[in-house]
Amino acid sequence: MRKNSANTLAHLLGAMAAGRAVTIRYIRKDGMVSRRRIEIHSVQVTSAGNITFRAWDHRDEEMTTFRLDRITHYTLHRTPKLAAYSFPTYAEVAEVVDEDGDVTEIRAWGTYELAA
């Protein structure tokens, strides 16, 4: 892992632990660049060795997987989580295929809604 990737991983894990939103610049597989505000829920390593984040994507209003090596810039927000979404309460193992076709085992969460 490159040094800047290690720093990015450390900062994003810190944001996840603190419950903070992050704005990222992300390069998709097709080369398109997008800017996303996300809230990270979990980190996985694919069978191909890629580090991925499962995060709430404010733009698409859904859980999305992002690869660490495709995040080129990021901004850590100091404000608490911004989305009104569900939090995990239980887990079941599920097989998931990411955008590159890599299969990874992750935990799919059952949820409850938070009061506003």
Query: Which residues on neighbouring strands pair with residue 71, listed in sequence order?
Result: 26
What is the pLDDT, as a whole number, of residue 90?
45
Average pLDDT score over residue span 41-54: 92
Q: Please give the sequence-ordered ranges of beta strands (E in DSSP) within the chain, or none if there are none.
A: 20-27, 33-45, 51-57, 62-67, 71-80, 87-97, 103-112
Query: pLDDT digit string (tens) for 2-11?
Result: 557 888 999 9
Tens-digit pLDDT profile for residues 65-101: 999 999 999 999 886 655 444 444 444 555 556 677 6
- pTM beyond 0.85: the answer is no
More confident residue, 113 or 65: 65
Q: Provide mean pLDDT across the span 37-60.
A: 92
Helix, strand or coil, per DSSP, at residue 16? helix
- Quickly state the pLDDT bin for 116 (edges 50, 70, 90): very low
